[in-house]
Amino acid sequence: MSYFGTVQGYIILALSIAALAVEVYAVVDCLRRRPDAFTAAGKRTKSFWMLVTGVALLLGIVAVGGLGILGIVAIIAAGVYLADVKPALDQVMGRGSGRAGPYGPW
pLDDT in tens, 28-62: 999 999 999 999 999 999 999 999 999 999 999 99
Q: How far is CA 24 from the centre of its chain?
A: 7
Whether 105 maps to a domain, the answer reads no
- How many domains does the chain divide into? 1
Whether 100 maps to a domain, the answer reads no
Reported as a pLDDT band with limits 50, 70 and 90, residue 8 is confident
Contacts (Cβ under 8 Å, ≥6 apart) of 59: 70, 71, 73, 74, 77
* Cβ count near 49 (within 10 Å): 24
pLDDT tens-digit series, residues 74-88? 999 999 999 999 999
Whether 103 maps to a domain, the answer reads no
Whether 7 maps to a domain, the answer reads no
Its pTM stands at 0.82
Contacts (Cβ under 8 Å, ≥6 apart) of 102: none
Structural domain that includes position 59:
12-94
